[in-house]
Amino acid sequence: MELPLSPSTFQAATPLESASIPTNLVRRELLKRALGNPVVNRLPTLIPLFVMGYAALGLAARDLMLALVSLQILTIVLTSYTAIRVTEILTEEQKSRKPETNAIRLWLFFELVSGAIWGLMIAATAESGQMTSSNTTISVTLIVTVSLAVIVAAEARGLAKAMLIGFAMTSIPVTIYHYEHFGSYVLLAVCLFPPTMYWLADRLGKQAHSSLQTEMENIVLNQKLSEALSISEYLSAHDSLTGLLNRRDFERVTEELRSRNRLGELAIIMVDLDNFKLINDQYGHSLGDDVLRTTARLMQSQLRDLNISASSENAVARWGGEEFIIAITNCSAEDVVRISEQIRCILEGYQNREWPRGVKLSGSFGSTCWHSNEPLNAAIKRADKAMYAAKSAGRNQTRFASFVTENASVSRVRQL
């Protein structure tokens, strides 16, 4: 069985930390949301323009009003076109790159022009002289449209700011110029409208920023939590030193292997490193740990290269101390003996120049076949008995325990 993670996972495991989303990423996402579908989002703006254009037919200055309505439609088309380009830039996957500012500046410029045109429409109502139903319709529609546009654009404060600046640049001078028609109250209302709406847009923008940042942080935290749970499951099932399965999970995995191969032969190999206690006592536990890790790596490497059958599966675990255990599916008695000897020879022939000269790697192997009509524990005990027979016979050799009704008979394996 391949390890999903390396043993370094244990050293790299750290407590789950809170996520921190950079402000520029939050603003970028807010801008994307404010843009949405640039064409579709602009279509509702045409409704008040048609209403104002129809109402303008009753004005003395209808030519001016209709010209401004036409100019605003053209501006909407240009704004939508540049907004499409901005959307394409923002959806690029190159997160590290700063978005192309020229397209954004051009887009905001058209938004400013749009706001300025809305402000100029006040002039058309003043030119008619008296207050009529057409004037009232245009004025109410104008204020409602600008207010809604600013509120909708509040997520992207730069957008709302550009629109209000454009509106203020034209509406205030026009109202001052036609002071005799509008009077002081209208002038005061027009002067207070842009800063009031900007304050409201700023509040809404900050709320949207905070809400989105929390949402993005929660997404990142959920991803980290999912990764942490995966690592936790791995850590609970594997030995922290070698990265192999631990004893408990080996039993579970081996039972699963048996359930998938009920009619096939399944072999068990027990391995005990020779003279490991002397290595620990003489050279220290640091070298002993390195010997255990090396053994695990060599066994895994050899098991990956098994030449049994395409459907063969295996599981390898650290059984305890210097003992290891291996389970192999679709493996006959002849195959398990051959594999045991191959691994034993690999261990015996291994050399590490960084180890002291007196350190030699070898192991005593006990193998058996696990039959479907017996519990796993019985097969492990039989393999363990064969392993101790190998140690008693002089170590660094393999013994095979055959299945017998009452007792296991241990046979000597001729070393390859």
Helix axes 376-392, 247-260, angle to 10 degrees: 120
Q: What is the pLDDT of residue 98?
A: 53
Q: What is the pLDDT of residue 59?
A: 79
What does the pLDDT average to over 151-165?
86
Structure confidence by residue, pLDDT tens digits, 281-314: 999 999 999 999 999 999 999 988 776 666 688 9
22-36, 91-105, 112-126: which is most confident: 112-126
Phi, psi of 399 (to 5 degrees): -125, 145
Which residues are catalytically annotated?
Answer: 322
CB within 8 Å of 16: residues ≥ 6 apart = 221, 224, 225, 228
Residue 378 DSSP SS3: helix
Q: What is the pLDDT of residue 401?
A: 94
How many CA atoms are closer than 13 Å to the CA of 210, on its beta-carbon side? 6
Structure confidence by residue, pLDDT tens digits, 315-334: 999 999 999 999 999 888 99
Report d(CA 23, CA 251) in Å as an integer. Answer: 50
Report d(CA 68, CA 285) in Å as an integer. Answer: 86
* In the chain, % of residues over pLDDT 90: 48
CB within 8 Å of 176: residues ≥ 6 apart = 187
Give this prediction's pTM. Answer: 0.57
Catalogue the E-assigned strands of 76-210: none
Does residue 29 or residue 413 have the better pLDDT? 29
What does the pLDDT average to over 50-68?
87
Neighbours of 13 (CB within 10 A): 13
Structure confidence by residue, pLDDT tens digits, 131-146: 678 888 888 999 999 9
Neighbours of 142 (CB within 10 A): 20
Q: Are 28 and 99 in contact (CB under 8 A)?
A: yes
How many CA atoms are closer than 13 Å to the CA of 245, on its beta-carbon side? 20
- Report whether pLDDT(20) > 50: yes
